[in-house]
Chains A and B, each alone.
Chain A
Amino acid sequence: MTATALHIVRETALRNWRKTLRRPVPLSFSFVQPLLWLLTFGFLFDRIAQLGPEYVGLRYFDVLLPGVCCMTVLFGASQAGINLVRDLQTGFVQRLVRASAHPGWMLAGMIGADVVRLLAQAAVVALLGLALGARLSPSVPGTVLALAGLAVFAFAWSALSCSIALSAKSQEAMAVFVHVSNMPLLFTSTALVPPRQMPDWLETVARWNPLSLVASALREALLLARIPDAAALLVPLALLGTVLFAIARRAMSRAAME
């Protein structure tokens, strides 16, 4: 990575963070949904959920917390393209791309800023869960590895969201994408329920769901003090992220032209 690329990534990321911090209301609201899920699902199913032998001594609320952290990242990443649509509609993205020596690094800066913000949001959700009584037994290296997986997942899903935004260029299309992708991905993953408690067919589907990879890894690291399998976690996510970023990069270059 050259010095020029570093400066591009830094300045585009700084722009995104500044905009986020200067709009505290949407940032605050982004914590409402995970909190509601924790409070409703967590306490509602706390007594009836069967967690299986590996989670002996833990409550459903504890098991749900890593899943809701991943859900926070999923929901936030899927909306990464919304700001891009706004910039496209004002012509600002086109200007950025036309000015940029390396549009790919600019996109990396934008998405990178989202990844850091989403991880911070996930951390705040985890702290809220702890405040509400969740019990965690974390492995530090395991948690670091799981967070790395979560970061790559956030990168990939943000890139997908940006691709949709750059292609469709409308808020309506983004709303459809968010609604159509988030709920199916969430409910067919292990974010809300451990895999062994799922019906067989759903467990099979969940195995191929990228959200399951990060939810299971984070649960292992935070609740069972284990270190997840790094290759099984990072390789598929990195492949997914590379493909989705390449698509977004291509869409970004085309965005400069009318």
Chain B
Amino acid sequence: MSERSSTPIDVAPAVRLAGVRRSFAGVHALDGIDCAIEPARLVALAGANGSGKSTMLRIVAGVIAPDAGTVDVFGATPRTSDAAFRTMTGYVGQDLALDGEITGAETLRLFYALRGLPHGERTRRIAAIVEELELGSFVERRVAGYSGGQRQRLHLAIETMHAPALLLLDEPTSSLDPSGRAALWRRLVAWRDGGHTLLVVTHDLADVQAHCDRIVLLSAGRIVADDAPSALVASHGRARTTIELARIPHDPASLRDALERAGGASGAGGGVRVEIHGAVITITRSVPLHGPEPALDALRALEIAVSRFEQHPPDLSSAFFELTGAVVAADRDASDDSRVAGRSGRGSGTGGGRGSNRGGPRGAS
């Protein structure tokens, strides 16, 4: 892990938000955000869709203004001190707004001029960024013919050509294949190591756990966690066992009760929750299991055949569900009993409503 210390800030923060609120048509997208981000850190902004993370990023980028509260980026206020602000920030939004009728090279030259970068260095600097982001194979073609991943890389080149002190990225890997995604995270880490501050909205929790110094987790417009990924995993991660049955059980509620009894009676692990969706059973524990899975014995005793069995240690995804699920469950206020059918009724009463981890955080979004 490349995680850096996330101790309280003792240097001037790169970004500071205080009491930031923003609504859209009466809906609170952000509801009192207080956050400070140290310079030269790679920070992830995560949360389910509609949690407010993109709104937070756009406010920091100066694209929209907050309804209330203050935002400070290296001492400048987004929107009002435009010239200095533009020089030190780069914003890669979700909309890959590019002109399809000109080539990637023409696009780069256009933005190079707009940013007021030294003309004498144009050829060298554009060549360097083309090489760094591997645009060479398509940069002379018109943008209209680019794939989503190619557009995203061109987008990134435009926003990093001026070496901004703060780079804001909204789901930068959404159009990239796995190798492109891995390459991008390597670049983000390299930029961080080069002294740049990066704030990344992402659903790639495995990559966040592997590369980010810190994760700010939002739910319903509020920050529900703000810590180093490893610390969040330690405090909120849940070990997970996935069992796929040979066939869908006739009585899932009875089976769930039996498995919970088995888990509780065995004393193995702690805070056991069981969820059954179709033929898939997901068992999560706040304390990892050391020893054989008691649910397998219970299934064997009930003469239920198992086709697949997997165990996962606590990870950031499980912490994500634990933290964001708590708020969602509270908001729902048990208004729909059918949705809490998957809860154990014995645990903390939080998180059960988020469903299983089958789809990972993308599934939750």
Which of A11, A22, A23, A90 touches B113 (beta carbons < 8 Å)? A11
A11-B109 in contact (CB<8A): yes
**CB of A252 within 8 A of chain B?**
no
Stretch of A26-34, A93-101, A203-211, A221-229 that contacts chain B? A93-101
Stretch of A12-20, A40-48, A67-75, A230-238 that contacts chain B? A12-20
Question: Provided the pairs A3-B119, A18-B106, A90-B97 are in contact, do residues A99 and B158 lie with their beta carbons within 8 angstroms?
Answer: yes
Question: Provided the pairs A15-B102, A15-B106, A98-B91 are in contact, do residues A7 and B97 lie with their beta carbons within 8 angstroms?
Answer: no
**CB of A108 within 8 A of chain B?**
no
Looking across the interface, which residue of chain A has its beta carbon closest to that of B142? A22
**CB of B99 within 8 A of chain A?**
yes
**CB of A8 within 8 A of chain B?**
yes
- Shortest distance in angstroms between A230's beta carbon and chain B's nearest beta carbon? 34
Give the number of chain A interface residues (Cβ < 8 Å). Answer: 29
**CB of B11 within 8 A of chain A?**
no
**B93 neighbours in A (Cβ, 8 Å):** 91
B98-A99 in contact (CB<8A): no
A10-B113 in contact (CB<8A): yes
A101-B99 in contact (CB<8A): no
Question: Provided the pairs A98-B63, A98-B91, A257-B63 are in contact, do residues A92 and B110 lie with their beta carbons within 8 angstroms?
Answer: no
A257 to B95, CA, bound (A): 15
Question: Provided the pairs A11-B109, A92-B99, A101-B86 are in contact, do residues A106 and B119 lie with their beta carbons within 8 angstroms?
Answer: no
Looking across the interface, which residue of chain B has its beta carbon closest to that of A3? B119
A11-B114 in contact (CB<8A): yes
Question: Provided the pairs A11-B114, A106-B114 are in contact, do residues A91 and B99 lie with their beta carbons within 8 angstroms?
Answer: no
Residue interface mask B5-34, A partner, CB < 8 A = 1: 000000000000000000000000000000
Looking across the interface, which residue of chain A has its beta carbon closest to that of B63? A258
B116-A12 in contact (CB<8A): no
A257-B113 in contact (CB<8A): no
- Shortest distance in angstroms between A192's beta carbon and chain B's nearest beta carbon? 36
A102-B116 in contact (CB<8A): yes
Looking across the interface, which residue of chain B has its beta carbon closest to that of A9? B113
**CB of A197 within 8 A of chain B?**
no
**B65 neighbours in A (Cβ, 8 Å):** 257
**CB of A4 within 8 A of chain B?**
yes
- Shortest distance in angstroms between A205's beta carbon and chain B's nearest beta carbon? 41
Number of A-B contacts (CB under 8 A): 79
**CB of B141 within 8 A of chain A?**
no
A95-B97 in contact (CB<8A): yes
**A96 neighbours in B (Cβ, 8 Å):** 110-111, 114
Task: Name B57-84 residues within 8 Å CB distance of A.
Answer: 58, 62-65, 79, 83
- Shortest distance in angstroms between A257's beta carbon and chain B's nearest beta carbon? 7
Residue interface mask B89-119, A partner, CB < 8 A = 1: 0010101011101100010011111111001
**B109 neighbours in A (Cβ, 8 Å):** 11
Which of B83, B102, B115 touches A19 (beta carbons < 8 Å)? B102
**B62 neighbours in A (Cβ, 8 Å):** 98, 257
**B95 neighbours in A (Cβ, 8 Å):** 90-91
A69 to B314, CA, bound (A): 75
**A10 neighbours in B (Cβ, 8 Å):** 113
B114-A18 in contact (CB<8A): no
Q: Which of A11, A22, A98 has the most CB of B within 10 A?
A: A98
- Shortest distance in angstroms between B361's beta carbon and chain A's nearest beta carbon? 27
B101-A19 in contact (CB<8A): yes
A18 to B65, CA, bound (A): 35
B114-A92 in contact (CB<8A): no
- Shortest distance in angstroms between B316's beta carbon and chain A's nearest beta carbon? 31
Which of A7, A90, A258 touches B119 (beta carbons < 8 Å)? A7
B86-A8 in contact (CB<8A): no
Q: Which of B58, B63, B91, B99 has the most CB of A within 10 A?
A: B99
A133 to B196, CA, bound (A): 68
B86-A7 in contact (CB<8A): no
**A101 neighbours in B (Cβ, 8 Å):** 83, 86-87, 114-116
Which of A15, A98, A256 touches B99 (beta carbons < 8 Å)? A15
B114-A99 in contact (CB<8A): yes
A22-B91 in contact (CB<8A): no
B106-A7 in contact (CB<8A): no
**A7 neighbours in B (Cβ, 8 Å):** 113, 119
**B112 neighbours in A (Cβ, 8 Å):** 11
User: Which 4 A/B pairs are nearest by Cβ-Cβ distance?
Assistant: A91-B97, A101-B116, A11-B113, A7-B113
Q: Give me 16 A-to-B residue pairs in the complex whose CB atoms sit less than 8 angstroms apart, sorted by A's number.
A: A8-B113, A8-B116, A11-B114, A14-B106, A15-B102, A15-B110, A18-B106, A19-B102, A91-B93, A94-B63, A94-B97, A101-B87, A101-B114, A106-B114, A256-B63, A257-B64
* Interface residues of B, Cβ cutoff 8 Å to A: 58, 62-65, 79, 83, 86-87, 91, 93, 95, 97-99, 101-102, 106, 109-116, 119, 158
* Interface residues of A, Cβ cutoff 8 Å to B: 3-4, 7-8, 10-12, 14-15, 18-19, 22-23, 87, 90-92, 94-96, 98-102, 106, 256-258
